[in-house]
Each structure stands twice: as C-alpha cells, then as structure tokens.
C-alpha cells in the first residue's frame, strides 16, 4: 500500500532522511516513533507530497506519491490544524468536501465526538481540544484506503481519546491502513500492530511491538525505546 525505496532528504547540508526503505501493507495500524528531530515529520510530509525527497521513490497504492490519484487515497490529520477562524466547522466540512468532489454526511462523526453544539460556531471561538475534534472528523470523513495521523490524540480529553481509538479499530476492521505518529505510548500499545522506529533519519526497527519488547527485554514500549536510545548513544 505504501512503499519507500532509498528515500533521502536533505535541507542544505542537513541530512534529515538517510536511505529510508519501508513497506506498509494494507489494513494495518502502524505507528512511527522516534525522538524529536529523527525525521518523522519530514517522512510524513514526503508521503503527503508536501515535501519532495532529494532522491529515492515513494509510491501510494502503486502510484507515485506526487500523482493526483495517489493523494486522493489519503486522509490526513495534522498535529495542529490551521483553519480560517471566522468560519464554522460545518462550513469547513462543506468546503473540504467540495475540494475533494465528495460529499459524505458528517453527522455521525459530529455526534461521535460530541460536537453538535459547536459546529455552527466560528472555529476561532473553539478551544484547542474542540478544534482537534473538528480535525478528527475531517480525518475520518472520507472513504479513503489510507489514513495518516500526526499526533492525533494530543489535546483530546480522555473520553474523546477512547472514541478516537475506537474509530481507528473500526477502520482497521474495514481494511483501511492507518499510519500515525504519537508520543503517547499507551495509545500506541493499544492500537498499533506494527512499529517503525526512526532515529537520525534511519529506520532502526520495524516490526511488532511484542517483538521489540522481547528483543530489548523490557516490559513496555517506553522502556524499550529508552533502551534503544541508550544503545545508539553507546
């Protein structure tokens, strides 16, 4: 579903991605982990064709990532969404639907995230957590085979986080591929069936969470990641 071959990216003299080779299969929930500055955001932007690799190839569903049809296969939720503050969530949903040429009914997602009383207010009047839920509605609104999420549960209250994770599992059951980053290890442990650990622009681990715990001899992901970082420093 998603393939990266020998992907490099540098900004001037700074090497950010250093020969990334990855395959992410259909119907999987995959979490990309790594410390700040490891290249996660750049890799994700390359997938979305927001940043062009310096070299290498990226394909989405067999098509180059910069192909219009490839981009139509992806729904995206940024860590911090920047919306026009004078429009309502309902108008935003209509606007994005018009851009995509699809008009799904957002009602069930509005109810799912308890947004009914907020969707007619200007987005600038909403709290950060409520705007995050608006962004979540957009991520799950369209019937795309791939859903890319950047720190999606940051700012969500505990109930909304549970509802968000329920949606991820529903989409997985429907055969969707979910690719997300998160620093909240409890969320990763609950939903991810595969991990990609990035460090200094390199993939140092790709596989099941249970395998990583076994290899590092740790009881949870937080300690397993700390173990990897200590080994790399040594």
35 within some domain: yes
pLDDT of residue 22: 94
DSSP assignment of 93-157 equals HHHHHHHHT-----HHHHHHTT-TTTTTSBGGGS-HHHHHHHHHHHHHHS--SEEEEESTTTT--
Q: How does pLDDT run across 187-200, given as a tens digit for each residue?
A: 999 999 999 999 99
81 within some domain: no
- Percent of the chain at pLDDT > 90 equals 84
pTM to 2 decimal places = 0.93
Name which of 31, 63, 6 is nearest 202 in CA terms: 6
CATH number at residue 210: 3.40.50.300
* pLDDT of 53 over the 70 cut: yes
Residue 7 belongs to domain spanning: 1-73+146-158+181-234
98 within some domain: no
pLDDT of residue 234: 66
192 within some domain: yes
* Mean pLDDT on 201-224: 93
163 within some domain: no
50 within some domain: yes
Q: How does pLDDT run across 101-157, given as a tens digit for each residue?
A: 999 999 999 999 999 999 999 999 999 999 999 999 999 999 999 999 999 998 899
Q: Measuring CA to CA, how many Å separate 211 from each of 50, 195, 208?
A: 33, 10, 5
pLDDT-based confidence at 83, cuts 50/70/90? confident
Q: How does pLDDT run across 158-184, given as a tens digit for each residue?
A: 999 999 999 999 999 999 999 999 989
Count of structural domains, the chain: 1
* pLDDT of 76 over the 90 cut: yes
111 within some domain: no
Mean pLDDT of the chain: 93
């Amino acid at each position: 579903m998603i393939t990266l071959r020998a992907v490099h990216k540098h900004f001037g003299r700074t090497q950010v991605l250093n020969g990334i080779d990855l395959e992410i299969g259909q119907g999987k929930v995959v979490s990309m982990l790594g410390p700040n500055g490891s290249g996660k955001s750049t890799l994700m932007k390359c997938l979305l064709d927001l940043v062009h690799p310096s070299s290498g190839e990226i394909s989405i569903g067999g098509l180059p990532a910069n192909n219009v049809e490839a981009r139509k296969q992806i729904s995206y939720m940024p860590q911090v969404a920047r919306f026009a503050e004078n429009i309502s969530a309902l108008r935003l949903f209509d606007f994005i639907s018009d851009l995509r040429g699809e008009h799904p009914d957002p009602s069930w997602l509005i109810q799912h995230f308890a947004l009914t009383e907020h969707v007619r207010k200007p987005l600038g009047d909403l709290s950060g957590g409520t705007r995050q839920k608006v962004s979540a509605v957009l991520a799950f609104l369209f019937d795309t085979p791939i859903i890319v999420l950047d720190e999606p549960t940051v700012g969500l209250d505990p109930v909304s986080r549970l509802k968000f994770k329920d949606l991820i599992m529903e989409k997985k059951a429907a055969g969707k591929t979910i690719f997300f980053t998160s620093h909240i290890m409890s969320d990763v442990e609950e939903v991810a069936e595969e991990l990609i650990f990035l460090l200094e622009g390199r993939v140092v681990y790709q596989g099941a969470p249970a395998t990583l715990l076994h290899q590092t001899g740790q009881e949870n992901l937080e300690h397993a990641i700390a173990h990897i970082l200590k080994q790399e420093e040594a």
